[in-house]
C-alpha cells in the first residue's frame, strides 16, 4: 500500500448512516470520498472543483466488484439523500461529493510526529501551538454549529411524519437515522415539497372522485324519478282505456 497519496477522514458516526448496512451504496460512497480531488484541477476541457472527480459506471463497478446496475442504483440513492451529485454523458460521469469540506476539512491534518507541539517561554507565559483542522462551517447551510454540536433546523411534527413515511417507502432500515441525515444535509426540503405535492394531488383526486360519485347518485335519482313518472303516466293511460 502506497501511503504517499495521503488519506481521507472517516467519522466513527458513519455506522449510524442510513446506508451503512447497504454494502453497494456504502462501497460507492467510500470510493467517492477516496477518489474526489482534494484541490481544483483540469481534466480535458473540464474544470473540476475540490470534491469532484471523473469516472464512469464501468470503472466504478469494476473498482468495487459490483454490477453496473448496482452501481447506477447506488448513485441514485446517494444523490437522493444528498450525499453526492452526478452528471453523466455517453463518455464519462462527473461526481461531486456534497459537503466534501465538512467531511475532510480545509487543511491537511498533521500528526504529532510530523509537527510536535512546542512550548515557548515568552514573558512568563506559555504559548502552545495546536494543529487543529479548520472546517468550513458554511458548506452545509442547513445546519448550524453551537458549541461544536450540529444543530438541526426545526421542522414541524407533521413534516417529520412525512419524512418518516418517505423513509418507510424507501425501505430504510433505520428510520430515525435516515430522517436525521435528510434534515442535516438539506435533502428534506425537496422531499417535503414533492411529498406535499403528491398528498395535495391525491386529495384533489379524492375530491373529484367524491364529486363524481355524488353526480352519479343524482343521475340515478333523476333516472329513478323519470322512470317512476313514466310508470305513473302509463298507469293513468291504462286506467283511461278501461
- Distance of alpha carbon 160 from the chain centroid: 15
Predicted local distance difference test score (pLDDT) of residue 1: 63
Contact in structure between 26 and 19 (CB atoms under 8 Å): yes
3-state class percentages of the chain: helix first, strand second, coil last, to nearest 5:
50, 15, 35
Q: In whole angstroms, how far apart are CA 36 and each of 78, 89, 122, 200?
A: 15, 19, 43, 40
Burial class (CB in 10 A: 0-12, 13-18, 19+), 110: exposed
How many Å apart are CA 98 and CA 50, to the nearest integer?
10
Give the predicted TM-score (pTM) of the model: 0.47
Residue with cell 455506522: 15
* DSSP letter assigned to residue 133: P
Predicted local distance difference test score (pLDDT) of residue 117: 40
Full pLDDT tens readout for the chain, 242 residues: 667 777 888 888 888 888 988 899 999 999 999 999 988 888 888 889 999 999 999 999 988 888 889 999 999 999 998 899 998 888 899 999 988 887 776 544 444 434 434 443 333 333 333 333 333 333 344 444 444 444 567 788 888 888 888 878 776 667 777 777 777 666 678 788 888 888 888 888 888 778 777 877 777 777 787 777 777 777 777 777 75
Q: For the chain, how far is it from start to end, CA to CA, in angstroms?
A: 112
Contacts 24+ apart (CB under 8 A), 166-173: 166/191, 166/195, 167/18, 170/80, 172/18, 173/18, 173/21
How many Å apart are CA 162 and CA 223, to the nearest integer?
44
Q: What residues are paired with 128 via a beta bridge?
A: 119
Residue with cell 458548506: 139
How many Å apart are CA 232 and CA 235, to the nearest integer?
5
Predicted local distance difference test score (pLDDT) of residue 95: 94
Q: Hey, CA dihedral for 174, 179, 184, 190, is it positive or negative?
A: positive
Contact in structure between 189 and 161 (CB atoms under 8 Å): no
Contact in structure between 50 and 38 (CB atoms under 8 Å): yes
For residue 150, the SS3 value is strand
Amino acid at each position: 500500500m502506497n501511503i504517499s497519496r495521503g488519506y481521507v477522514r472517516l467519522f466513527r458516526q458513519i455506522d449510524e448512516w442510513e446506508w451503512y448496512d447497504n454494502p453497494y451504496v456504502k462501497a460507492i460512497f467510500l470510493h467517492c470520498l477516496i477518489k474526489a480531488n482534494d484541490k481544483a484541477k483540469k481534466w480535458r476541457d473540464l474544470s473540476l472543483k475540490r470534491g469532484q472527480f471523473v469516472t464512469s459506471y464501468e470503472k466504478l463497478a469494476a473498482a468495487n466488484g459490483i454490477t453496473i446496475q448496482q452501481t447506477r442504483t447506488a448513485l441514485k440513492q446517494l444523490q437522493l439523500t444528498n450525499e453526492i451529485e452526478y452528471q453523466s454523458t455517453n463518455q464519462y460521469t462527473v461526481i461531486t461529493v456534497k459537503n466534501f469540506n465538512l467531511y475532510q476539512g480545509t487543511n491537511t491534518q498533521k500528526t504529532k510526529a510530523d509537527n510536535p507541539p512546542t512550548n515557548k517561554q515568552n514573558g512568563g507565559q506559555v504559548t502552545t501551538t495546536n494543529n487543529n483542522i479548520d472546517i468550513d462551517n458554511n458548506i452545509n447551510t442547513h445546519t448550524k454549529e453551537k458549541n461544536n454540536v450540529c444543530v438541526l433546523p426545526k421542522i414541524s411534527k407533521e413534516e417529520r411524519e412525512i419524512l418518516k413515511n418517505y423513509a418507510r417507502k424507501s425501505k430504510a432500515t433505520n428510520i430515525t437515522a435516515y430522517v436525521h441525515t435528510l434534515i442535516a444535509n438539506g435533502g428534506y426540503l425537496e422531499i417535503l415539497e414533492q411529498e406535499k405535492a403528491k398528498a395535495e394531488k391525491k386529495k384533489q383526486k379524492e375530491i373529484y372522485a367524491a364529486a363524481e360519485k355524488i353526480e352519479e347518485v343524482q343521475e340515478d335519482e333523476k333516472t329513478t324519478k323519470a322512470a317512476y313518472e313514466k310508470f305513473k303516466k302509463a298507469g293513468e293511460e291504462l286506467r283511461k282505456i278501461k
